[in-house]
Structure 1
Amino acid sequence: MSTLIAYYSRADENYVNGQIKVLPVGNTEVAARMLQELTGGDLFKVEQTCPYAKDYNTCIAEAQADQRRDARPELKAYPGSLDGYDTIYLGYPNYWGTMPMVMFTFLEHFDFTGKTILPFCTHEGSGLGGSEKDIQRLCPGAKVEKGLAIHGGGVAAAGPAIKKWIEK
């Protein structure tokens, strides 16, 4: 069986270490690529059909509106099947204490029974929030392992922490 690294990440304007910065690659994607190097797993980027705005303040308003109305944004694509995977690393930024709603869309699309899910998130101070519980609720047949919270502003130096986490 193989490993899948499914992640949602956002480039463009982001809040990093107390400032708005333009990121050419989102923090969660940086972490996902590190995981791929360490595990050899397949990468799948979860993308919305209608992405949030590039401007940070507009983006957070859009994302928060989606969360308030419990939206399920449409995805551009899905992996054809998860049948060949027994381990799934699930990556996302922390949006108001949980995953972005696009990750809810992704998780509700598949049956994760018998799979092991290892969540990882990037954040600017709020850690994993309640995302692990949300994943357990959305994927009742899966084994959801302890997740890893990575400070977004320090993601470039997160390699050793990621390696230690996957070796557990």
Structure 2
Amino acid sequence: MLTVIDFSSPGETLVRGQTPVVTEGHTAQVARLLGERLGIAPVALHPQVPYPMTYPARLKRARAEQTQHAFPAIEPVASAALRAPVWVLGYPIWFGGVPRVIATLLTQTTTPPREIYPFATHEGSGLGHSLDDLQRLCPTAVIHPGLPIRGSRVDRAAPAVDHWLQQGLADNK
């Protein structure tokens, strides 16, 4: 049994030096595509205090959380999703790693996942050090090779998603 859990952030985003507004974050778009391919509905992770919609304000808060090693409070996540032994976990790369809301999720889950298939959206950093972050936050889990998707190219992500699924998740559907 597997679940798709993603954290995404709508509002202003950085794309080629510009800050267009998106109503659905890039990571959520990839999660939706993965959910369609896997036949399951993605579970969105939400902080209790939403991130600002403007890019500079979101960056400021995210930087403060990283610096302070904060664990921002999150909205409850469906217990069935948390009990799944295999997680397809998505997040944007913030400052080279996972957003701190992902740290909250992984450290406060009473039954941690046995396997994590990470996917991340970015604008040039690939997966950054997020795989190391995941292993540190969830030391008993097997962290599989991740799928980096450039946010500005999320509308063309289907072939990469399909290839990644064929390479690693085919046996877990």
Please state which band the TM-score falls in when normalised by the shorter chain: over 0.9
* Cα contact 2:93–2:99 (8 A) shared by 1: yes
Distance in 2, Cα, partners of 1:130 & 1:65: 18
* Cα contact 1:3–1:39 (8 A) shared by 2: no
Runs of 4+ in 1 over 2 A off after TM superposition: none
- Partner amino acid for 1:112? P
Which structure's residues are more often strand, by fraction?
Answer: 1
Give the gaps of 5 or more residues in structure 1: none
Q: Percent identity?
A: 36
TM-score scaled to structure 2, two decimals? 0.91
How many residue pairs align between the two structures?
165
Please give the secondary structure, in 2, of the residue aligned with 1:51.
coil
Q: Which residue of structure 2 aligns with residue 142 of structure 1?
A: 141
Please give the secondary structure, in 2, of the residue aligned with 1:41.
coil
After superposition, the Cα gap between the structure-2 partners of 1:57 and 1:153, relative to the gap in structure 1 and judged at 3 Å, is: same
Distance in 1, Cα, partners of 2:75 & 2:138: 22
**How far apart are 1:136 and its partner, in Å?**
1.0
* Cα contact 2:96–2:127 (8 A) shared by 1: yes
1:93-142 CA-to-partner distances (Å, cap 9, x unmatched) read 000010110010001112325x2100000000011111101111111221
Q: Which residue of structure 2 aligns with residue 88 of structure 1?
A: 87
Matches within 5 A, 1:18-167: 18-81=17-80, 82-83=82-83, 85-110=84-109, 111-112=111-112, 115-167=114-166
RMSD of aligned Cα (Å): 1.1
* Cα contact 2:90–2:120 (8 A) shared by 1: yes
TM-score scaled to structure 1, two decimals? 0.94
Give the gaps of 5 or more residues in structure 2: 168-173
Please give the secondary structure, in 2, of the residue aligned with 1:20.
coil
